[in-house]
Amino acid sequence: MATTSSRNRSVRRGRSLPVATLGKRTRLSFTYKPELLEAIPFGVGRAFATSNTWVSNNCLRFTSLCPVTGQPDWADIFINFIPDARLVESKSLKEYLNSFRMHGDFHEDVCRLICDDLVRCMGPRYLEVIGHFDSRGSIAIWPYVQYAKDGDAGAQQILQHRLLHYTPGKYAPESYRRNI
């Protein structure tokens, strides 16, 4: 029988993990529900060589509704963040993003909601949400929303730098940029 060294075992178990969704079957909600988001601890009980970590979560076929026409709006949503003490649990993020399916809101407001809800869930040092909404009527809307923790000079510098140097598609994954 093979043994696993303690270096390879995750310390994220038991009470430190969310209990609502992880490892359980859930019913998908297609109405906006920010309470679906769950956080897990980041780097608890371990000594890492670096604390510099970027996390990217990409939702490639996000759907919400136009608040005026009720027609579906399709987008690719890119979420980039520097965690503090918590990460968003990926299954809860998937279910949360799916909950926008029947939610009517403007593209810019959808990205602001996602940003605000993720900040409340995990309290990151820095977070950005980029929405690449498909064109309707020959106009594509690509909102870019940012957050930096108050009092965190490094996060504030990142916010200023990325905002000043932003161009559409710049902070999306390389494989995606080739398709723009």
DSSP structure string for 116-175: HHHHHHH--SEEEEEEEEPPBTTB----EEEEE-TT-HHHHHHHHHHHHT--TTTTS-HH
Strand partners, 79: 57, 129
Strand partners, 145: 129
* Residue 73 designated active-site: yes
Residue from 66, 84, 105, 152 carrying the catalytic annotation: 66
Residue from 59, 73, 76, 117 carrying the catalytic annotation: 73
Cα–Cα distance, 168 to 12 (Å, whole number): 37
* Residue 66 designated active-site: yes
Q: Give catalytic residues, as residue numbers.
A: 66, 73
